[in-house]
Amino acid sequence: MTAETLLLLISYVLLIGLVVTIHESIHWCFALLFRRQPRVTFDRFLTPTVRYHNTHVDWQNLIISVSAPLLLFSFGIWVEGDGGAWVVVKILCLANVFNFFPITTDGQMIFLSLVKMIQKQKQNKIKKFNRNSTSD
């Protein structure tokens, strides 16, 4: 392995670490915005993970979980990937699209928040219908 290859490999690993750190920092900022007492833990091979107090406010959980993938994916679309490290950054940011699927922690929170919001909306409609039908 040449020195150039080793330097390239190290720079790719550092870029991955940087994008992951930015991703989790976005979650942390939004959790802090909603006063969720965020804390950073390191799981699975020293990967930073943001954990926060769940107050069961589904729309806030949705915003916290969708914030990082949406912002980084948008940045990946916007940034010019015309060479060098920017190509890697663009690919890493665009790869955040996978965080919308329920196979990831973010995707699971997005899915659960949406399901709970829909369930609550249906329950409210049923309650409203029952109130209207009993008052007749």
Residue spans of the domains in the chain: they are 3-130
d(C-alpha 57, C-alpha 92), whole Å = 30
Residues 55-111 pLDDT 10s: 889 999 999 999 999 999 999 999 887 777 888 899 999 999 999 999 999 999 999
Q: Is 72 exposed, middle or buried (0-12, 13-18, 19+ CB in 10 A)?
A: buried
pLDDT over threshold 90, residue 24: yes
pTM score of the predicted model: 0.84
